[in-house]
């Protein structure tokens, strides 16, 4: 199940809760209350006699729908709490009586004979009298309706509020991804173009191939990364091109990166691994030491992906984990929380002049 499917299922919970309230409270509790009030004969001793009273209970409760679906959540989101109090008074004090008068009038006009017709006539007379009475409510249904559907309204508000926060966070991470791509362009382009320029001066036969690699990488960043998920093989190809470019700059360094498994048919959030790889080349000891190394692997299993990267780094007195990672790794952490909640494990270890990253993602 994708992250979007999980979010859709999550935000459907208020609808499930609403259905439960209508099923248990309206179709069972209010039905039984009207049934007891009507005192209708039940010679068959049925468990649910006179089921038309369920329809009657539903119609008597229809007035709550605009309140809990629109009015209350809108006022809560706007933080207009005093307006909400006024809306409660007017809705349950005025609209309830109007709804009861209309519904009982319709049911009374549709039933002309039998005990249930007498019940509807009696209910219509009571509703008509209460319509013009300042405090003419039935407390048995007024307070239970208020409690039940205020709960639904607050449930919808809470999930709408969380959905709004989620969308804001997602938009923020999109901006961070754009910022990450913008950072990648000048830094990587400068180093890569210098390498290709040096290759062209020496007449290297690999120059056209590396120009093509750079073109593929730029196409991936500019076009494919516009989507929340990309084919895994494209992200791997981008990573491989980047590493080959850097290996060309440091031909004597101990640099290796292995890939195993079949990426076909799998998708992933773009640019998750490049930040770790870029940091390893940016801070790696291979830049000044022949003993410097960068060793990495990407293993694709049936239901998960394992990324490992280990390198020694240039020691600096003030350098800590934040300096080694910076904003880019914090960006990756937030994107992992967004796209793979509960489906990933990220470990970053820094000790004895060695930086090691392990990222496991379950599909």
- The answer to whether residue 158 sits within a structural domain is no
Q: Are residues 275 and 180 in the same domain?
A: yes
Is residue 3 predicted with pLDDT exceeding 50?
no
Residue 218's pLDDT band, with cuts at 50, 70 and 90, is confident
Q: Are residues 124 and 171 in the same domain?
A: no
- The answer to whether residue 148 sits within a structural domain is no
Q: Are residues 195 and 314 in the same domain?
A: yes
Is residue 12 predicted with pLDDT exceeding 80?
no
Residue-level pLDDT at 319: 47
Judged by DSSP in three states, 226 sits in helix
How many independent structural domains does the chain possess?
A: 2
Task: Please tell me the distance from the alpha carbon of residue 273 to that of residue 340, in angstroms, as a whole number.
Answer: 14
Residue-level pLDDT at 322: 46
Domain hosting residue 129, numbered range: 3-137
Is residue 206 predicted with pLDDT exceeding 50?
yes
- The answer to whether residue 155 sits within a structural domain is no
341 or 267, greater pLDDT = 267
In the chain, which ranges are continuous DSSP H helix?
3-11, 13-21, 31-38, 52-59, 65-66, 72-77, 81-90, 96-110, 115-131, 139-201, 207-222, 232-249, 274-283, 321-339
At residue 34, what are phi and psi to the nearest 5 degrees? -65, -35
Residue 58's pLDDT band, with cuts at 50, 70 and 90, is very high
Residue 253's pLDDT band, with cuts at 50, 70 and 90, is confident
Residue entry with tokens 């799998």: 266
pLDDT of 268-278, one tens digit each? 988 889 889 88
pLDDT of 137-180, one tens digit each? 677 788 889 999 999 988 888 887 777 777 766 666 665 666 56
Q: Are residues 289 and 348 in the same domain?
A: yes
Is residue 66 predicted with pLDDT exceeding 80?
yes
Question: What value does the mean pLDDT of the chain take?
Answer: 83
Residue-level pLDDT at 141: 80
């Amino acid at each position: 199940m994708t992250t979007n499917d999980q979010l859709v299922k999550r935000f459907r919970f208020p609808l499930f809760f609403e259905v439960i309230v209508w099923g248990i409270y309206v179709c069972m509790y209010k039905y039984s209350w009207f049934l007891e009030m009507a005192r209708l004969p039940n010679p068959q001793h049925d468990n649910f006699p006179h089921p038309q009273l369920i329809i009657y209970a539903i119609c008597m409760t229809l007035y709550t729908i605009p309140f809990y679906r629109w009015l209350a959540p809108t006022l809560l989101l706007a933080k207009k709490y005093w307006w909400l109090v006024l809306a409660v008074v007017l809705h349950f004090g005025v609209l309830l009586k109007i709804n009861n008068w209309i519904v009982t009038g319709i049911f009374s006009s549709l039933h002309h004979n039998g005990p249930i017709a007498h019940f509807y006539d009696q209910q219509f007379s009571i509703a008509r009298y209460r319509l013009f009475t300042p405090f003419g409510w039935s407390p048995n249904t007024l307070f239970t309706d208020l409690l039940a559907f205020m709960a639904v309204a607050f449930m919808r508000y809470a999930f709408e509020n969380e959905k709004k926060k989620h969308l804001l966070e997602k938009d923020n991470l999109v901006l961070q991804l754009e910022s990450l791509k913008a950072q990648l362009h000048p830094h990587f382009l400068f180093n890569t173009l210098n390498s290709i320029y040096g290759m062209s001066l020496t007449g290297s036969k690999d120059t056209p191939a590396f120009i093509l690699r750079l073109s593929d990488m730029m196409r991936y960043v500019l076009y494919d990364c516009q989507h929340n998920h990309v084919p895994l093989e494209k992200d791997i190809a981008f990573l491989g091109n980047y590493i080959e470019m850097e290996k060309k700059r440091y031909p004597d360094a101990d640099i290796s990166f292995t890939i195993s498994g079949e990426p076909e048919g799998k998708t992933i959030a773009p640019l998750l691994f490049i930040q770790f790889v870029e940091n390893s080349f940016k801070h790696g000891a291979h830049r000044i030491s022949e003993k410097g190394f960068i060793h990495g692997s990407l293993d694709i299993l049936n239901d998960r992906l394992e990324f490992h990267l280990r390198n020694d780094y240039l020691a600096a007195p003030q350098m800590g984990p934040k300096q080694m990672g910076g904003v880019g790794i914090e960006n990756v952490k937030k994107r992992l929380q967004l796209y793979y909640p509960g489906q990933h494990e990220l470990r970053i270890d820094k000790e004895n002049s060695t930086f090691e990253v392990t990222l496991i993602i379950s599909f």
